[in-house]
Amino acid sequence: MRDLLDTLDAWRDQGTEAGRAVVVRTFGSAPRPEGAVLLVADDGRLIGSVSGGCVEGAAAEEVARSRATGLSRVIRYGISDELAWDVGLACGGTIDVLVQPLVPTAVTAAATASIGPGGVAAAVATPLPGDAPPSVFGPHEPGAGEAPASSIVIDVGGRILEGSTGHPGTDASLARAAAEILDDGRSRTVDLDGRAFFVEAFPVRPRLVIVGAVEVARSLVRYAHELGYETVIVDGRASFATAERFP
């Protein structure tokens, strides 16, 4: 999600809102991990991915539908032999995708706060709709498996900063689970007291310090950013350590 923030901000500056699809569970061989995000703007523009191209079109349609109803929904995408080249996962796996009418404010705030010097880690838990996820190949019953979007924010110490499940015991269990997920750094869904929560982890980015603004450092910075590192360039030569050379 963090790598999509600049695009989301640019869309909003243009007066365009966006919904999102996010992978919340994977089964078998999945092309993208839990936490992978696809943003869908009101004008149809897309950025990100939930499947590497297999089901993005179908997911975008579901996001548009979510925008119209104002409700979140979980969709299960898999594969069948007769539909192998239609909507489905070529890898043979199955994914559950949460579609939301808007990118939750808590998600953008947590993602933004975790970036850069002085970053603060946090996890955002989203209660998933209670019904079993409908298959993309099956008929859709209006309202089935749908729910208003809501968020619960937990810090690295396992304290709930915002929101509640409505049950103190579940709050405590969710806070403990979220702290473990945040420490691990990988988003995933947890099942607690008969309810499912997707916990999105936004740990502070690891920092890579590169001494010497030489040519090879430019490639190293690019690869480090792709891997989620914050980079710091150290070089006393002002003409070498420039924003043009290291954007």
Per-residue tens of pLDDT for the chain, all 247 residues: 988 999 999 999 999 999 999 999 998 878 889 999 999 999 999 999 998 887 889 999 999 999 999 999 999 987 654 444 455 555 567 899 999 999 999 999 999 999 877 889 999 999 998 654 444 433 333 344 444 557 899 999 999 999 999 999 999 999 999 999 999 999 999 999 999 999 999 999 888 999 999 999 999 999 998 888 889 999 999 899 998 899 8
Name which of 3, 7, 5, 41 is nearest 21 in CA terms.
Answer: 41
Nearest to 153 by CA among 108, 92, 195, 189: 108
The residue segments making up the domain with residue 223 are 206-247
The H-or-E segment that residue 184 falls in is helix 168-184
Q: Could you give the CA distance from residue 139 to residue 62 in angstroms, rounded to a whole number? A: 13
Q: Do residue 145 and residue 123 come from a single domain?
A: yes
The answer to whether residues 127 and 235 belong to one domain is: no
Do 214 and 198 fall within a single domain? Answer: no
Provide the domain count of the chain.
2
| 178 and 245 inside one domain | no
